[in-house]
Structure 1
Amino acid sequence: MRRFEGKVAIITAAAQGIGQAVARRIVAEGGAVVVTDLLRDAAVVAASEFSGRDALAVKLDVTSRADVDAAIDATLERFGRLDLLVNNAGGCIVDSMPEETSTEDWHRQLDLTLVGAARCIQAAVPHLVKTRGNVVTISSVNAVAAFGNIEYAAAKAGQIAMSQNYAARYGRLGVRFNVVAPGTVRTPNWDSQPGALESLAAMYPLGRVGEPEDIAAAVAFLGSDDAAWITGHTLPVEGGVLTGPHPIDLSPPDTLHNGA
């Protein structure tokens, strides 16, 4: 498939994990990518993978409007257009009991995950209107069900509400806003917790945690013209974990049958 032929995407936090997988998928489908990261050197290394193809590395701290504006300007200077913004930057930065979370920590979490995405959208929208482009934001199953991490969950839920409202506001101008809500995904963030992913896999009816490529496939769908009549929606990509609580033993019954 060449769904992104002639199109340009900015992906935040794209030096590794989900963001890197999204960049690979878009390039594989003919698009140009702006690989952004808080650490410019990491962005340069990630973008170098696409040698001979259209890729630009940009340092981007989404908590800085100046950085966001500079990233948009660099994109337009290099490629002359913007078709897709993938809001991937964020993370769970508060590690305390919710009753003990300070106001400052609440602000830090919201500024990175929710307001950071809002800054990127604000800067990108005027250019997306010109190309009838779209935004895909990476939220989380924590936004739609109670899995803990209250501050992170609230910020991720805010991304969904924000995207729905942007979808309603800008739909008549041809700009779409959708959200992907991943479950547990195998990213470098888990490297410091040996065995954690294997334990978490027991929660999932499909018997495994997600891979970055699972999320990239969903982003590529929503960001492409295949989803031209989809806006304001959240697509869970979560191995079935939202179907309800599951025991550790998830083996299928010995006999499968039809009927009630």
Structure 2
Amino acid sequence: MQRFEGQVALITAGAQGIGAAVARRLADEGASVVVTDLQEDKVAEVAAGIGAQALGVRLDVTNRDDVDAAVAAAVERFGRLDVVVNNAGGCIVSTVPEDTSAEEWHQQLDLTLVGASRCIQAALPHLVKTRGNVVTISSVNGLAAFGNIEYAAAKAGQIAMTVNYAARYGGLGVRFNVVAPGTIRTPNWDNQPDTLERFEKLYPLGRVGEPEDIAAAVAFLASDDAAWITGHTLPVEGGVLTGPRSEVMDLTPSGPFKKDY
């Protein structure tokens, strides 16, 4: 499919993991992509791997000048901007909640929530022209209690922000949606293989997610296939929000179900 032929997408935190997978998926479907990240060398590698339709740009989403420059670079290179994928963020607080300082709260919110807002603000004039859209990568942590309270609050804030942007700018044809991943196998887990194996047991579908699972969801929401969808959150989480696998809860199906399946 070439659902993004002639369109331009900007992806934050695109040097690896989900962001890199999204950049490749949109490029495979015809988009020109601006891959941004603080890791200049890695983002250059991702862009080079995609080819001439990709541009790598250094971007710190906590710096408005950086954000404005990245959006300007996208429009200067490719002439327009149709899609913004807010992927930058992370869990940067390591203390227990009762010990989290005000500074740590501000750092978490600035990176994950305000950073996404900066990107939206900078891109909006161009998205209005193209009747484009924004897909923000939140988390199941913003939908249910999985710990990491400060991170969860920032991710929940992204969802609330998205709903309000969708209502405010829908009349101008700009759409805003969210993808909420569960545990995804990214380089952040490279030193914790045992943790991923343990998490797999919690997922009804029997595995953690891959970056490509999220990229597929982003491509759908950013495409015209989702032209009448705005203000929504799409959980992509292997069923974990339904509850842990029955084996974990000692509720393994019995009788005809177990026999037949």
Range into which the TM-score falls when normalised by the shorter chain: over 0.9
Who is 1:146 aligned against? Answer: 145
Amino acid at match of 2:146: F
C-alpha deviation, 1:253, in angstroms: 3.9
Q: Could you tell me how far apart the structure 2 residues matched to 1:24 and 1:251 are?
A: 39
For 1:31 and 1:75, the matched residues in 2 are separated by 12
Which residue in the other structure is 1:168 paired with? Answer: 167
CA 1:89/1:166 → structure 2, altered by over 3 Å: closer, same or farther? same
Letter of the structure 2 residue corresponding to residue 114 of structure 1? L
Q: Percent identity?
A: 74
Contact 1:202/1:250 (CA < 8 Å) preserved in 2? no
2:75–2:81: 8 Å Cα contact kept in structure 1? yes
What is the CA–CA distance in structure 1 between the aligned matches of 2:237 and 2:255, rounded to whole Å? Answer: 26
Cα distance in 2, alignment partners of residues 22 and 208 from structure 1: 20
What pairs up with 1:47-126 in 2 under 5 angstroms?
A: 47-51=47-51, 53-126=52-125
Say whether the 8 Å CA contact 2:159–2:233 is kept in structure 1. Answer: yes
* More deviation, 42-51/182-191: 42-51
Contact 1:205/1:250 (8 A) holds in 2: no
Which structure 2 residues correspond to residues 1-260 of structure 1 after superposition, within 5 A? 1-51=1-51, 53-246=52-245, 247-248=247-248, 253=254, 255-256=256-257
CA contact (8 A) 2:204 2:244 kept: no
CA–CA separation in structure 2 for the residues paired with 1:253 and 1:222: 38
Cα distance in 1, alignment partners of residues 58 and 251 from structure 2: 44
SS in 2 for 1:49: helix
**Cα 1:27–1:104, aligned 2, differ >3 Å: closer, same or farther?**
same
Q: Deviations over 1:29-61 (max 9, x none)?
A: 01110010012111101111012x310000000
Displacement of 1:244: 2.0
Q: What TM-score comes out, normalization by structure 1 length?
A: 0.96
Number of positions where the alignment pairs a residue of Structure 1 with one of Structure 2: 256
Report how far residue 8 of structure 1 moved.
Answer: 0.3
Q: Relative to 1, partners in 2 of residues 1:206 and 1:44: Cα closer, same or farther, differing over 3 Å?
A: same
Write the distance in 2 (CA, Å) between the matches of 1:255 and 1:208: 25
Give the drift of 1:252.
Answer: 5.0
SS of residue in 1 equivalent to 2:257: coil
Q: Which runs of 5+ in 1 are unaligned?
A: none
Instruction: Tell whether the 8 Å contact from 1:11 to 1:86 is kept in structure 2 after alignment.
Output: yes
Query: What do the CA deviations read for 1:154-181 (whole angstroms, capped 9, x no partner)?
Result: 0000000000000000000000000000
Offset of 1:251 from its aligned partner? 5.6
- Any gaps of 5 or more consecutive residues in structure 2? none
Q: Aligned to 2:235, what secondary structure does the other structure show? A: strand
Q: CA deviation at 1:255?
A: 2.5
Of 147-156 and 37-46, deviating more is 37-46
8 Å Cα contact 2:35-2:55 kept in structure 1: yes
RMSD: 1.3
C-alpha separation in 2, matches of 1:197 and 1:250:
23
Deviation at 1:245, TM superposition (A): 4.0
Shift in Å, 1:250: 7.5
**Could you tell me how far 1:147 is from its partner in structure 2?**
0.3
Residue aligned with 1:203, SS: coil
Displaced runs of 4 or more, over 3 A: 249-254
